Structure 1
Amino acid sequence: MDRSSNAYTFIFAIIMVVVVGAVLAFTSESLKDRQNANVKQEKMQNILYTVGVDSIEHNGAMVPLSRPLAEANFDKFITKQIALNNKGEVIAEGDKAFNVDLAKELGKADDLQMFPLYEAKVEGETCYIIPLRGTGLWGAIWGYIALKDDVNTVKGVVFDHKGETTGLGGEITKAWFQERFQDEKIFDGSGNLVGVSVVKGYGGGNNKDDNAVDAISGATITGDGVTKMISRRLKYYLPYFKKQTDMKVAVK
């Protein structure tokens, strides 16, 4: 065949597309198990971060909590993994609860969704970890919020995003921003669930009872997304918390 002909060019292009596509498909499939393992470990790592477990004793020394160490020590701190329906009833436990994909659940009606909840025990304190997911400026944002055993005080948070602007909305992943949420309250003085608002021009200083933290400069829409994500997701857990008789405070 004449290599300068259009037919040769067309056939060559088709062959290259098929070969490259096959190589990419094989590579993707061969790495699938490793990718899934990395996702699982990162999820465990983030859950543990919310309750203050960012380092662990390993071989006689304290070391940063790597993803493999998070998986190896997950059950040491996480005492219960459950999934609820919107009535606060437990409908799944263990791995089935852990593997709930919140991105898919949000596309369902409320009465068909599953709401994962993790219970942790850290230094004698019980904490409840709730997965979060919402929308920022450019796409999805997500994370976890841990509540202390009064089901009101924030133990810690972890946030992440799909495509928020670096230096602006992308700063929600930074420790200095997430630390602002520690010890904030999710109920107001009247016992109503209000979450924690990210407020532009916040002037409350270190007030931990006003249900608000200072926003990131230039990231108003992302901050609003965090505010809505927290309040909207937490409300689904109220029916479950109301049924618990060992909570230290009443919730409305």
Structure 2
Amino acid sequence: MDRNSNAYTFLFVILLIAIVASALALTATSLQPAQAENVTNEKMQNILGTVGIEVARDSAQIPFDKYIVERIALDSKGQERSDVDAFSVDLKKELKKDVEEQSFPLYVADIDGAKYYIVPLRGKGLWDAIWGYVALKDDVNTIKGAVFDHKGETPGLGAEITQMWFKKSFDNEKILDSSGNFVGVDVQKGYQGGDNKADNAVDAISGATITGDGVTKMITERLQNYLPYFQNNTNVKVASN
């Protein structure tokens, strides 16, 4: 074939594209196990972070196995599901189902004899998904800690939900009111409560009202699904809404 012909040029380009595409596909396939391991380790790291266990992502497995003593998948009535692995539940997929068909993962931690219940969260911010975890002390009312992340919130605004100052504002907040009714935690614009930990509210991020509202809704929507389990499996009397 004439190397100066258009046919030769087109054939050369096609072969080059095929070689590059094959190389990229092979690379992507070879990286999948490492990527999956990173996702698993980061999930463990975040769960541990809600109860004050700060570890590097690559070192999360050992402390996770030490401190997380139960991994439970619940149905919408608060009953344990033996057919579902809690750690494998994908909330992105679950939220596309009717509530009655969803599985609700719950992690139980034991830190020096203190018991904590860790609930995965997922919701919607201004631009895309937001998610995280919140740990409740054994009174199933007081928040031990929380972590949040996002897919596409605005840097300096909604993306501030990942910052320590915002996460720490949830420490020791209550999710029940004085009568024991579930109310969640309101990310409140213009909050004037100071250090009040019994008003079920924290200060919002300036200029990120929609993201803050998303955090509020995410916490309320997710936690309310665990009330039947807490009512039946703890000594705390959670009032029915």
Letter in 2 for 1:28: A
Structure 1's 19 and 133: CA in aligned 2 closer, same or farther, altered over 3 A?
A: same
Cα–Cα, structure 1 residues 207 and 4, in superposed 2: closer, same or farther, change >3 Å? Answer: farther
8 Å CA contact 1:44, 1:74 repeated in 2: yes
C-alpha displacement at 1:237, in angstroms?
0.7
Matched with 1:250 is 238
Aligned match of 1:57: none
Which residue number in structure 1 is paired with residue 57 of structure 2?
A: 67
Match for 1:88 among 78, 96, 115?
A: 78
**2:68 alignment counterpart:** 78
Partner of 2:206: 217
Q: In the TM superposition, what is the alpha-carbon distance from 1:5 to its structure 2 partner?
A: 4.7
The Cα offsets for residues 87-112 of structure 1, whole Å up to 9 and x where unpaired, read as 1110037x821111111111111122
Once residues 247 and 5 of structure 1 are traced to their aligned partners in structure 2, the CA distance between those partners, rounded to angstroms, is 83
Shift of 1:17: 2.4
Specify which of 105, 108, 112 is matched with residue 97 of structure 2.
108
1:26 equivalenced with 2:26 (yes/no): yes
Counterpart AA for 1:228 = K
Take 2:3 and 2:159, find their aligned partners in 1: how far apart are those partners? 50
Root-mean-square deviation (CA, aligned residues, Å) is: 1.6
Give the length in aligned residue pairs: 240
Q: What is the TM-score when the length of structure 1 is the normalising length?
A: 0.90
Superposed displacement of residue 4, structure 1: 5.5
The CA deviation at 1:7 is 3.4
SS in 2 for 1:155: strand
For 1:228 and 1:114, the matched residues in 2 are separated by 19
Identity of aligned residues (%): 60
Letter in structure 2 aligned against 1:18:
A
Match of 1:149 in 2: 138
Q: How does 1:78-227 map to 2 (within 5 A)?
A: 78-92=68-82, 96-227=85-216
Secondary structure of 1:79 counterpart: strand
What letter is aligned with 2:23?
V
SS in 1 for 2:169: helix
- Distance in 1 (CA, whole Å) between partners of 2:4 and 2:198 is 76
Unaligned 5+ residue runs, structure 1?
A: 55-64
Q: Give structure 1 regions of 4+ aligned residues with deviation exceeding 3 angstroms.
A: 1-10, 248-251
Name the SS of the counterpart of 1:120 in structure 2. Answer: strand
For the residue of structure 2 that corresponds to 1:144, the secondary structure is: strand
Q: Describe the superposition over 1:22-79 as per-residue Cα deviations: whole angstroms up to 9, x where unpaired.
A: 111111111111111111110000000000111xxxxxxxxxx112321111121101
Structure 2: segments with no counterpart, 5+ residues: none
Q: Report how far residue 185 of structure 1 moved.
A: 0.5
Does the CA-based 8 Å contact 2:128-2:152 persist in structure 1? Answer: yes
Offset of 1:6 from its aligned partner? 4.2
Matched AA of 1:107:
K
The one-letter code of the counterpart of 2:46 is N
Report the residue type matching 2:148 in the other structure. F
CA distance in 2, matches of 1:2, 1:176: 68
**2-structure distance, mates of 1:9, 1:92:** 61
